[in-house]
Amino acid sequence: MALTRVLVALAATLALASASGCADAPLDKTRVDLSFSWHGVIFEWPCLSTKNIYVSSGRYIPKNVISTRVQFAKDYVYVAMPRYRPGVPVTLARANLKTKACAPVFCPFPCWSLQEEGNCNALQNVVDIYIDINEILWVLDVGVVNTLEQPIRRCPPKVIGFCTKTGKVVKVIDLSSLVCSASRLQYIVADVAQDGFTYLYISDAATRSVIVYDVHRNRGFRVMLPKAVTDGCTSRDVLYLSLVRRNCGSTILYLSYLSSTRLFSIRTEYLRRGTPNGRLITVGNKPAKIVCLGTDGGSAVFFRYKGEGDIYMWNTNTCFKSDNFQLVQKGHGCRLSTHVAPGYKRLMWTLESNFHDYIQGTTGCVGASIKLQPIFKGCE
């Protein structure tokens, strides 16, 4: 059903384009109406004096703030702002998209007190977020800050579940017993199974494993992946996770390292049993290094090739080969997508930035260039 909605939305926008013979003119107006652009981040501060204190003390350095991951609930967008460098006052925030402005104004979510660096009851460094079908926002906090400069372990890694309707904390999961000193946690997905129980899957790239956590039974374990997942890898760089839901209700986890030559999948029921051996399937060979961007909540996976801006959609009900990769948005400018997710106005959205410039420290004093916009397919 989710994939059908995406295809219908894309078809509708293309139908608008066909009336004028080209997608650019009508879609450009739609982009203007629904797109949001900003440099760094505009925060809603408690008062001006608080902002001045943060600036003077070095707790707020605008150029060091970047938005990398995005999720939606109702009219709100939630973004992760990892503490890659010092001066990031907020690591999880949200903005109301109905209040149209030149740039969204972000409020710390759920509040300022839960953004305090060094307070282990607060958020330290949010690297990924995921909203499940029950509208619970699952937040992966690695506990290490300043990861691009001098990493500092502030607190143990944890996952916090927030109710998006109330902003209240519904679950706190300490991951200390499920990681080791070499662990490097990167992505989280939440799966509400057919029995109504919620399971979390977290990629640990450095140890070639996936952490599986049963939220209702308060128990978790590590699943070591077969060595085959690192075939062709020059390093254990980025371990992407993409959760796909079939029409029958079953779920499949697709996974692959950035530098791996192949894409793999495993049925989540096997993961929950902790028995991946012999269950991991080779989906196919990748034509190039692929950056997995997200799914539509159904059977569609979105991705781009490393260093390229074009966004593709693959229907996982078809074979994994180039002929089945549909170009849904051509790259524009110097920004690259870091996340694609379903959301506001029932559209698919992409969060783009000049993240490569940010990594190199060349964004300038205004900070990274960010754009949040619906996915459209332009002229061929």
* pLDDT at residue 198 is higher than 60: yes
* pLDDT at residue 316 is higher than 90: yes
**Domain residue ranges of the chain, discontinuous segments joined by +:** 2-374
pLDDT band at 333 (very low <50, low <70, confident <90, very high): confident
How far, in Å, CA of 276 to CA of 268, rounded? 10
Q: For position 194, what pLDDT does the model report?
A: 86
The answer to whether residues 93 and 139 touch, using CB atoms and an 8 Å cutoff, is: no
How far, in Å, CA of 110 to CA of 165, rounded? 11
* pLDDT at residue 310 is higher than 70: yes
Regarding pTM above 0.85, the answer is yes
* pLDDT at residue 189 is higher than 50: yes
How far, in Å, CA of 135 to CA of 123, rounded? 20
Mean pLDDT value across residues 178-199: 95
Based on DSSP, count helices (H) and strands (E) in the chain, helices before strands: 5, 27
pLDDT digits (tens, 9 = 90+) for 63-104: 999 999 999 999 999 999 999 999 999 999 999 998 766 788
What percent of the chain stands above pLDDT 90?
A: 75
Instruction: Name 81's Cβ contacts closer than 8 Å, sequence gap at least 6.
Output: 41, 65, 66, 67, 68, 88, 90, 91, 92, 93, 126
Pick the residue with more confidence: 373 or 247?
373
* pLDDT at residue 29 is higher than 70: no
How far, in Å, CA of 256 to CA of 235, rounded? 13
Mean pLDDT value across residues 173-186: 96
CATH topology of domain 2-374: Neuraminidase (2.120.10)
Structure tokens at 106: 């972000």
